Every structure is written in structure tokens, then in C-alpha cells.
Amino acid sequence: MDPALLSQLRQDKLPKHLAIVMDGNGRWAQQRNLPRNAGHRAGVKSVDEIVVTCRRLGIQALTLFALSTENLERPRAEVEVLMHILRVYLRREVERMCQESIRFNTIGDTTVLHPVVQAIIKETLARTAACDGMIFTLALGYGSHAEIVRTAKQLAWHVQQGLLAVDDIDETLFAVHLDTVGLPEVDLLIRTSGEKRLSNFLLWQVAYAELYFTSVLWPDFRSDDLLRALLDYQTRERRFGLTHEQLAPAVQS
């Protein structure tokens, strides 16, 4: 990490929960006349570095958009490579997660993944369950629309069974049934590659998150790029729908 960038970072203004849309693997490979799969493999190096950096900075939760429900519709060969990369990554990194006290977590419908991947995920979840240093979440087989519909169905079932009254349902109860239950609210969402959209990622959870878009392709995204995003985040005034004047007394006190 660049010491000059690191020295500017305020520890008391770090996001508790950082989410990243890891975009640009395919374009990175295309620019180098390589197959798309080379971009996915190169992107793993960025995952390694960003996970380690977030843990060292003291960020409480990191969520990476690894595999959307739409990604599973890509050519079979590409999906198989993604499954292989995920298997290898979890097998390789579980020891480091334990050593660094990183608790592994997933959101999304993992039942759509290869059975071997499902087994490795289950094993990684179990082995890191007692870790309390940082929560590292991979969104796998994830789509926010599907998550919200799934949550609505769960609440409807509870009402149907007489376990819940319709008037009991509010934003707090709804959030408890989302995949992200137990995680802090998302403070900052980063998307790489220059695209400026959310792509069905954490739509409920980023309602008041700060958004940061960078043209850097994911395989090139490193610690210094993360520090620049965090420094930009620390310049933002987070008002949560209030005015600057309403926030000023609280800041002064």
C-alpha cells in the first residue's frame, strides 16, 4: 500500500460494510487477446489482495459479487471454469481465513451451484464459524430481485400460518429475512470497469450507501485503488435523507 495514501486515511471514518461489484474480467482478457477465463483467473489475485487489505484496515464486513443468477446462463465451459476457480480458491484460502480470523459467509441461492462447490462452501462456513475479525461474504447465485421475492414469500407464509400479522411487517422485519441478516448496513459500494449500474446487486441494502465507480478493470484493482475509493468515501457527507443543517448540531456535539 502507498504510505502517502494510507497516511491520509481516517480510521474512525472507514465503512463498516464494503460491497464490491467485481467487473471487467472479460474486457481485461480481451485487451490482451486472451480467453475470458484468463480474466477470471487474474481476478482472483485482486480478491486475495482486497480481502487481506480490508482485514488489515479493520473493515468489519466485505461483500463481493462473485456470481449472479444471470452469470449461470453463460456458456457452459465458462460456468465450469468459474466453479473450478471457486473450488480452488476456497480450498486454498480457508487456512488463511482461520489464521486471520475471517468468517466466511455467502448470500444467494447456493443450491444452483455444482454439488462439489456446495460441499466446499459448507465446509468453509463450518471451519470459519468462530472467527470474529471480519465477515467475508461471497454473493453466489445471487440476484437482488430474487432475494426480495424470496423474503416476501417467507413473510407471506408466516402470515398464512398465523405466525405473523400483516401489520407486524415493517422495514426492520423485512430486513431480518433478507440474505444479509447479521451484516451491518452497506456503507460503500464500489464497481470496477467503468460501468455505472448496480446490476441487481443488494438493491435493498444500498438504499443509503455511497457509490463509487472506477474505470479500473477488476484484475487490475489493487490496494491503492481501494485506498483511493475509501479516501473519496471519507469526503462524503452522509445525510440519510436529512439536511446538512440537521446534521450539523450532532456533529458539533
> Tens digits of per-residue pLDDT, 83-106?
999 999 999 999 999 999 999 999
Beta bridge partners, 138, equal 64, 106
71 is catalytic: yes
Average pLDDT, the chain: 93
| 253: confidence class by pLDDT, cuts 50, 70, 90 | very low
* pTM > 0.85: yes
The answer to whether residue 187 is catalytic is: no
User: Is it the case that residue 8 has pLDDT exceeding 80?
Assistant: yes
Query: What b/e readout covers 158-183, taking b as 16+ CB neighbours within 10 angstroms?
Result: beeeeebeeeebeeeeeeebbbbeeb
CB 26 within 8 A of CB 78: no
Span 14-143+185-242 CATH architecture: 3-Layer(aba) Sandwich (3.40)
Whole-angstrom distance, CA of residue 89 vs CA of residue 22: 16
The CA-to-CA distance between both ends of the chain, in Å, stands at 35
- For position 1, what pLDDT does the model report? 82
Single-letter amino acid code for the residue at 158: H
C-alpha to C-alpha distance for 198 and 130, rounded to whole angstroms: 32
**Domain layout of the chain by residue ranges:** 14-143+185-242
pLDDT at 86: 93
Measured CA to CA, the distance from residue 118 to residue 66 in angstroms comes to 15
The model's pLDDT over 21-77, given as tens digits with 9 standing for 90+, comes to 999 999 999 999 999 999 999 999 999 999 999 999 999 999 999 988 888 888 888
Which SS3 state, helix, strand or coil, does residue 75 take?
Answer: coil
What is d(CA 10, CA 117) in angstroms, rounded to the nearest whole number? 38
Among candidate residues 48, 71, 109, 232, the one labeled active-site is 71
The full length of the chain comes to 253
Strands (E), 72-195: 102-107, 134-142, 188-191
Is the pLDDT at 180 greater than 50? The verdict is: yes
